[in-house]
Chains A and B, each alone.
Chain A
């Protein structure tokens, strides 16, 4: 067993977990933050994307122990009273259909803005979404949402 401690959405959290526990399992099952989703569980779909030390990573492909001591932000940590501009943009632009991929899409989108700035063209957004799959295939409005949300961040 590993004794781990990390900061999740600004709060210090910890626990005893098996060493093989995935970060997404720790977030969902120990912390009960179920906004982060498990889609494919094979590192492809990006529904599980969270930020670890400011960078988007796939939490189904990271051990909780690997993130020991890190700062983690999940979809629940974005809103500050009001929706985060990227969340609002997904709402305004009909960027979600079934909504399953949305947490990962939004965490990927805010990471994209952190790295590349607020002025994102369609081609860049589509290329940067390489690691996020929408099974409703609703990419058109996701791209629109990200472009809109980025400009308002």
Chain B
């Protein structure tokens, strides 16, 4: 790892001010992607601004049908929340399958979505649950937030502070993990929203990162069943092709994962 300067932020404002006075800083939350990336010298920020101790960014709040998860809430905390599980078990189950138990004690939802790894799990859930991403500057619709592989709508000095979404009528996430890395080779989060809409978020497969599958959404809106999406086409041209799986294989996986998710939804 190249040299860096560590700073612990006490508040969102403090983090922004520390970012402003540094040369080429990065925010770090759990660091479960950033630290390994720095160890490999694929990233070399001059400064690290630690958001993990910002109290206002922690915790899960449920207000009627609205769920708000603070950005510094760990995967383990999302997985273990009984209140959240009562109204949206799918997001708890998704969090419980990210990485491994030790990674889940450090990694956070804000870090995951701000990094927008093309194989990360949370972005698919945010897309399907029609989440609003709150930052220190504004609120961003999830459809506008993820802009490409490892790219988001965030400015350099912008921090995800929380995500908010309505509890769905039904939802589930199904992923096919790479047998070695356990990252999703295809992961599909399906959600039947209480306003009648159906949304389908796909991760691990898209050449530009997470995406929604609108044909499946249309089919599921009419009939929430795995048979309704049997004839939907997943275009392999838009998918990743690598040594683990070519794009045609991934296209099939997306369909299979979507069907399994619909069948598992509750």
Contact = CB atoms under 8 A, between A and B. Distances in A.
Contact of B101 (A43, A66, A108): A108
B36 A61 contact: yes
A58 B102 CA distance: 6
B105 A20 contact: no
A56 B101 contact: yes
Interface in A16-74: 18-20, 22, 41-43, 46, 49, 52, 55-58, 61-63, 65-66, 68
A112 B182 CA distance: 20
A111 B3 CA distance: 32
- B interface bracket (residues with beta carbon within 8 Å of A): 20 to 34
Contacts of A115: 80, 101
Contacts, number: 76
Contacts of A122: none
B31 A108 contact: no
Interface string B1-34: 1111110100000000000000000001001100
B35 interface: yes
B3 A61 contact: no
Contacts of A68: 8
Given A42-B36, A43-B36, A20 B102 contact: no
Interface of A: 2, 18-20, 22, 41-43, 46, 49, 52, 55-58, 61-63, 65-66, 68, 108, 111-112, 115, 128, 130-132
Interface of B: 1-6, 8, 28, 31-32, 35-36, 38-39, 48, 50, 52, 76, 80, 99-103, 105-106, 182
20 contacts: A20-B2, A20-B4, A42-B39, A43-B32, A43-B35, A43-B36, A43-B103, A46-B100, A46-B102, A55-B105, A56-B101, A57-B105, A61-B31, A61-B32, A62-B35, A63-B31, A65-B50, A66-B31, A66-B52, A111-B102
